[in-house]
Amino acid sequence: MLNQLKVSLSVLAILLLAGCNAQTASVTPKEAATMFAEKKAIILDVREDDEWKVQHIAGAMHIPLAQVETRLDELVQYKDQPVILQCRSGKRSAKAAGILADAGFTQVYNLAGGILAWDQDGLKTVKLN
């Protein structure tokens, strides 16, 4: 019985680790801004259209999370370059980061805290309201 429990826990640990994507990492807004400014990364905003229209990071690309998987062909040119995913707070962009990593993108980053943290750090955005 104890051996079965150990085996079950080992299998569970392997499955959990397999589900974690080692190809994604978080970056702070300041790190992201530096990478973007130095043209070492692109920023992909995965918020909805209405959110994008109110405020966004100048020069960022925009593909809503629900469309990322079906629009990978638009991103394939960045497959081996740093791609920073961004949303409002970092949750949707974490999902998008997983989609890109699973699709073979090699340098995927999630903007920690999203555009809220970007604003909090005093970094510039385009505001349309």
State pLDDT tens for residues 114-126: 999 999 999 999 9
Domain-located, residue 46: yes
Domain-located, residue 14: no
The CA distance from 104 to 66, in Å, is 19
**What band does 1 get if pLDDT is binned at 50, 70 and 90?**
low
Domain-located, residue 2: no
> What pTM does this model have?
0.82
Domain-located, residue 74: yes
Domain-located, residue 97: yes
pLDDT tens track for 27-38:
999 999 999 999
pLDDT tens track for 55-109:
999 999 999 999 999 999 999 999 999 999 999 999 999 999 999 999 999 999 9
Domain-located, residue 70: yes
pLDDT reported for residue 30: 97
Domain-located, residue 99: yes
Distance of CA 58 to the CA centre of its chain: 17
Domain that holds residue 99: 23-127
Query: What CATH number did the domain enclosing 75 receive?
Result: 3.40.250.10
**What band does 23 get if pLDDT is binned at 50, 70 and 90?**
low
pLDDT reported for residue 42: 97
The CA distance from 35 to 25, in Å, is 14
pLDDT reported for residue 21: 43
Which residue numbers are catalytic? 87
For residue 64, the 8-state DSSP code is -
pLDDT reported for residue 66: 98
Count how many domains the chain has: 1
Domain-located, residue 3: no
The CA distance from 64 to 59, in Å, is 16
Query: Does residue 112 sit in helix, strand or coil?
Result: coil
